[in-house]
Amino acid sequence: EAVVDFVERWMAVESDFTPSFFELTSTMAFEYFAREKVDVAVIETGLGGRLDSTNIITPVVSVITNISPDHTALLGESLEKIAFEKAGIIKTGVPAVIGECQPECMAVFEERAEAVGAPLKYAASLDGRREDGMMVYEHTPYGKIRGELSGDCQIRNAATVMETLGVLSGCGFAIPAESVRDGFAHVCEDTGLMGRWTTLRRDPLTICDTGHNIGGWEYIASQLSARKSGTLHLIMGFVNDKDISAILRKIAEIGGDKRFYFSAPSVPRGLNADALAAQAAEFGLNGPAIADVNEALATATAAATGTDDMILIAGSNFLIADLNLSLLSEDK
């Protein structure tokens, strides 16, 4: 009802300005948050940061998780140029937290922070291990933490979260350690979040991950390369406005027995499955083009006959959203 009300009011406005979908939905979200008087809003930029629709806010803390080559056509080809766009969310006098930073990006962040008088913090290192499908962090300011998100990248993400929580506590937020532990342990259950190395089924082991850029695939490839036996059945699909050559090159470097299934997200931006298969073949990755991810999953499941076989569905948030979970076994 709130969406319909907003659209009807917007349609009645006479203006020469034609906003993008993201600009319009960002405006709608901010208006809704204000009307509902939310206690805290966590706002993620859509693209870059400096020129992003969300950058009209003045936050309590600005967080930059990491820098990787993504949306290079709009943000720039080098890490320094991308970092410059990301650094645009650092505001005058507002603390900023950097989760992961390459040496060539540090000067960019520090220059921006100094220019606007923003206190700058880098997330401290954190040790984590995987245990029973959870990520365990033994020594943190909040005691022992068990995290429901278990991908390797979550160790750095967890460190970023804890650094940010420390900043928020310094700003007057009361954040009990018990709440932090509970949030980490039940984040998927509480929010419905999927695609962060999420186990969908254990026989055959079936995992989905929204690895949509080379930064994500650095972690994914590392986890897959650590496997000792069995065949990897990789179902992938991407949107058509990204350069995925670096990702395909990284996938080609993964050792062991591999089979590929090329799919496509069911959105206008989805990269055609045949086009993806053709592009992947240039890197020695060959397999059938099966546009529907659920059909691709059924095909991979039928082929995953080995005890240690594993199925991974990855590449785009939209691809993961297309999964029909009712077709999966209840066995988790």
Q: Closest Cα partner for 199 from 266, 132, 117?
A: 132
Is residue 243 located within the same domain as residue 155?
Answer: no
Q: Is the peptide bond before 204 cis (omega within 30 degrees of 0)?
A: yes
Distance CA(211)–CA(43), nearest Å, equals 21
pLDDT for the residue 228: 85
End of a domain among 192, 212, 236?
Answer: 192
Looking at the 3D structure of the chain, how many domains does it have?
Answer: 2
pLDDT band at 70 (very low <50, low <70, confident <90, very high): low
pLDDT for the residue 76: 60
Give percent above pLDDT 70 in the chain.
96
pLDDT for the residue 105: 85
pLDDT for the residue 332: 44
DSSP three-state, residue 317: helix
Is residue 310 located within the same domain as residue 237?
Answer: yes
Is residue 152 located within the same domain as residue 259?
Answer: no
Distance CA(290)–CA(259), nearest Å, equals 13
Looking at per-residue pLDDT, the higher value among 290 and 125 belongs to 290
pLDDT for the residue 69: 54
DSSP 233-296: EEEE--BTTS--HHHHHHHHT--SEEEEEE---SSTTBPPHHHHHHHHHTTT----B-SSHHHH
pLDDT for the residue 259: 97
pLDDT tens string 215-266:
788 888 988 988 889 999 999 999 998 889 999 999 999 999 999 999 999 9
Collect all residues with Cβ–Cβ distance below 8 Å to 10 and sequence separation of at least 6. 24
Is residue 206 located within the same domain as residue 310?
Answer: yes
In a domain, 60, yes or no: no
pLDDT tens string 73-96:
556 667 888 889 899 999 999 999
End of a domain among 143, 162, 192?
Answer: 192
Is residue 136 located within the same domain as residue 249?
Answer: no
CATH code for position 251: 3.90.190.20
Residue 62 has pLDDT above 80, yes or no: yes
pLDDT for the residue 329: 57
In a domain, 56, yes or no: no
Q: What is the largest CA-CA distance in the chain?
A: 63
Tokens of 205: 């082991």
pLDDT for the residue 179: 96
pLDDT band at 65 (very low <50, low <70, confident <90, very high): confident
Is residue 129 located within the same domain as residue 209?
Answer: no
Give percent above pLDDT 90 in the chain.
64
In a domain, 46, yes or no: no
Tokens of 145: 């933490």
In a domain, 107, yes or no: no
Is residue 145 located within the same domain as residue 228?
Answer: no
Classify each residue of 10-45 as buried b or exposed e, where b means 16 or more C-beta atoms within 10 Å of its C-beta. eeeeeeeeeeeeeeeebebebeeeeeeeeeeeebeb
Q: Is 121 exposed, middle or buried (0-12, 13-18, 19+ CB in 10 A)?
A: middle
Is residue 311 located within the same domain as residue 223?
Answer: yes
For residue 76, the tally of other CB atoms under 10 A from its CB is 16
In a domain, 5, yes or no: no
pLDDT for the residue 212: 74
CB–CB of 64/99 below 8 Å? yes
- Helix, strand, coil percent content, the chain, rounded in steps of 5: 40, 15, 45
Amino acid identity for residue 317 in this structure: N
In a domain, 77, yes or no: no
End of a domain among 171, 192, 213?
Answer: 192
Tokens of 219: 């972690």
Is residue 203 located within the same domain as residue 319?
Answer: yes
Is residue 273 located within the same domain as residue 319?
Answer: yes
Can you give the residue range of the structural domain that contains 260?
198-327
In a domain, 12, yes or no: no
Q: Is 68 exposed, middle or buried (0-12, 13-18, 19+ CB in 10 A)?
A: middle
In a domain, 216, yes or no: yes
For residue 240, the tally of other CB atoms under 10 A from its CB is 15
Q: Which of the residue ranges 6-10, 96-100, 256-260, 327-331 would you say has the lowest mean pLDDT?
A: 327-331
pLDDT tens string 266-288:
999 999 999 999 999 999 999 99
* Residue found by looking up tokens 């936050």 in the block: 59
Looking at per-residue pLDDT, the higher value among 194 and 35 belongs to 35
Is residue 202 located within the same domain as residue 257?
Answer: yes
pLDDT tens string 291-308:
999 999 999 999 999 999
CB–CB of 46/53 below 8 Å? yes
Is residue 240 located within the same domain as residue 296?
Answer: yes
pLDDT for the residue 133: 76
pLDDT tens string 146-194:
998 877 788 889 999 999 999 999 999 999 999 999 999 999 889 888 8
Measure the CA dihedral 141/142/143/148, to 10°. -120
